[in-house]
């Protein structure tokens, strides 16, 4: 079952930005994607909202990391690294954020490519 429009609008309001169109459409259809071993290649809308708000408001993070406002986290690799759209880029490219080095590296040009490559093993983190 997909996320309702109200849940998506609440997420966007909490983050102060519109979700990328492809992500919003996927969330309306399925409210996230569940993968193997408990991983979620795309989180449900509520987790997208809560995790992004937490990263943007945690008082200790500015001392450790570059700003998170340009990123919109939507999945994790299961090892602490997270996948995000860089919201200043259009179209919204998918990046991986390395939690140990704070690096932000583009892994693919779209949500569809990310899902294809993540699910067939071409993305290795």
Q: Which of 47, 53, 51 is nearest to 16 (CA)?
A: 53
Number of H helices, E strands in the chain: 5, 4
List all residues 6 or more positions away from 5 whose beta carbon is below 8 Å from its beta carbon.
28
| Confidence at residue 89, expressed as pLDDT on a 0 to 100 scale | 58
Question: For 57-106, what is each residue's pLDDT tens digit?
Answer: 999 999 999 999 889 999 999 899 999 998 875 667 899 999 999 999 99
| Confidence at residue 34, expressed as pLDDT on a 0 to 100 scale | 84
Report H helices in 4-97.
5-15, 21-30, 45-57, 61-64
Question: For 18-36, what is each residue's pLDDT tens digit?
Answer: 999 999 999 999 998 887 7
| pTM reported for the whole predicted model | 0.91
């Amino acid at each position: 079952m997909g996320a309702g429009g109200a849940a998506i609008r609440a997420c966007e309001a909490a983050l102060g930005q519109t979700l990328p169109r492809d992500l919003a459409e996927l969330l309306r259809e399925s409210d996230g994607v569940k993968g193997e071993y408990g991983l979620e290649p795309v989180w449900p809308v509520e987790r997208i909202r809560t995790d992004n708000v937490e990263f943007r408001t945690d008082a200790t993070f500015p001392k450790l990391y570059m700003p998170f406002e340009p990123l919109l986290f939507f999945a994790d690799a299961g090892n602490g690294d997270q996948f995000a759209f860089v919201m200043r880029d259009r179209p919204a490219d998918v990046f991986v954020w390395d939690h140990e080095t704070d690096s932000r590296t583009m892994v693919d040009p779209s949500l569809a490519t990310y899902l294809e490559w993540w699910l067939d093993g071409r993305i290795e983190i």
